[in-house]
């Protein structure tokens, strides 16, 4: 499966998010080195403060060795700043040891200014791939936030 296939899955998951006027709807998929899905998640999946990457990571043991060869696909750039919880998704991904992140939509300056998530990941040695082909689809799920 290609990166775009898994990114499309992440966008599909974002459509499951309970609606919010104050946070993005995001989907995330963690895929192992052998191409199998390790976990999936979406914003507000269990708790109103859940982020998609956090929800997906939360379903795996922190020391799961498969994370060290995995890629996490997210419909939105992982957060580098957040108000709701102390650890950002960029920090959680770095702590999990995931070496590769694929995103389609850069976080717009709507809730925080200068998200910096991809920059923080890159600085920590994580490979970040941005495939803007699905950015419009990822944004469309959040169109109500821009009205």
Q: Please, what is the minimum distance in Å from the beta carbon of residue 14 to Zn ion?
A: 13
Q: Is the CB of 72 or the CB of 89 nearer to Zn ion?
A: 89
The catalytic residue positions are 53
The residue ranges that bind Zn ion (CB under 5 A) are 51, 79, 89
Q: Which residues contact 36 (CB under 8 A, 6 or more apart)?
A: none
Q: Is the CB of 1 or the CB of 45 nearer to Zn ion?
A: 45
Q: Please, what is the minimum distance in Å from the beta carbon of residue 41 to Zn ion?
A: 11
Q: Is the CB of 37 or the CB of 81 nearer to Zn ion?
A: 81
Between CA 107 and CA 115, with CA 111 as vertex, the angle to 5 degrees is 40
């Amino acid at each position: 499966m290609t990166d775009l296939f898994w990114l499309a899955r992440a966008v599909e998951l974002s459509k499951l998010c309970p609606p919010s006027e104050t946070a993005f709807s995001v989907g995330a998929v963690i895929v192992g080195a052998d191409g199998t899905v390790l976990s999936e998640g979406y914003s507000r999946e269990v708790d109103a403060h859940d982020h998609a990457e956090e929800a997906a990571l939360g379903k795996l043991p922190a020391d799961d060795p498969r994370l060290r060869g995995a890629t996490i696909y997210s419909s939105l750039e992982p957060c580098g700043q957040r108000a709701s919880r102390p650890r950002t998704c960029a920090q959680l991904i770095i702590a999990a040891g995931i070496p590769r992140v694929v995103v389609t939509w850069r976080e717009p300056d709507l809730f925080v200014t200068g998200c910096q998530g991809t920059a923080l990941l890159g600085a920590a040695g994580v490979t970040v791939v941005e495939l803007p082909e699905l950015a419009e689809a990822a944004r469309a799920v959040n169109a109500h936030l821009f009205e």
